[in-house]
Amino acid sequence: MVTHRHAPDIHPGIAPRLTLRRRLDRLMRALLPSLFIVVSAFVLSAGLGIPGQSELGFAIAASTVFFWSAHRPQSMTPFMTFCVGLVCEMLSFGPPGVFLFSLLVFHGVAHLWRYGLSRISFLFAWALLGGLALVLSLFGWIIACIGTLTFLSPGPSLFQAAVTIGIYPTLSALFAWARRTVADPEQA
């Protein structure tokens, strides 16, 4: 007589017990994108002397929010995006509220279009991120001009958009790997 072995997911009622260790592991895996942004913001807010340090902080935060909102919305909820944006806002030296608003717009667009972004090519998603980065960087420049009542150079805002566009493919590859391994709450 042949015995059949079924995968555990075929029998939904059978699952390992959720111990405290497994719950904490799931929680940490789910919070990994948010923790990545917060740690990056703290490191990049220190005076390290890296050229474009504040622009890099925006690029990392925006790319992370965009990727995780599109590919695993449970790991980047609107509340988590707001909390992360608030932390980044307190550590940035830009116009008040612009960083937080920008992250919420990145989250909203990626979350709204997540089904379309999962079916289309990477280049279209990259172009969408690039367009958003350009528009929101110029929005920050306009708010800074209004706040100082002078016409500032748009160079730093365009550089911020360029850094965001340039860093996204690398971060996207890293996050695609992390989504399947270390940041997957189902593997806890």
CB atoms within 10 A of CB 112: 12
pLDDT tens, residue by residue, 148-172? 999 999 999 999 999 999 999 999 9
Q: What pLDDT, in 10s, does the model give residues 34-71? A: 999 999 999 999 888 888 898 999 999 999 999 999 98
**pLDDT for 65-96, tens place per residue?**
999 999 888 989 999 999 999 999 999 888 88
Read off the DSSP letter of residue 70: H
Mean pLDDT of the chain: 88
Length, in residues, of the chain: 188
Q: How far apart are CA 163 and CA 157, in angstroms?
A: 10
pLDDT of 49 reads 86
Q: What mean pLDDT comes out for the span 97-126?
A: 91
Asked whether residue 1 carries a pLDDT value surpassing 80, the answer given is: no
- The string of DSSP codes covering 82-129 is HHHHHHHHHH--SSTTHHHHHHHHHHHHHHHTHHHHHHS-HHHHHHHH
Residue 120 has pLDDT above 60, yes or no: yes
Mean pLDDT of 106-130: 90
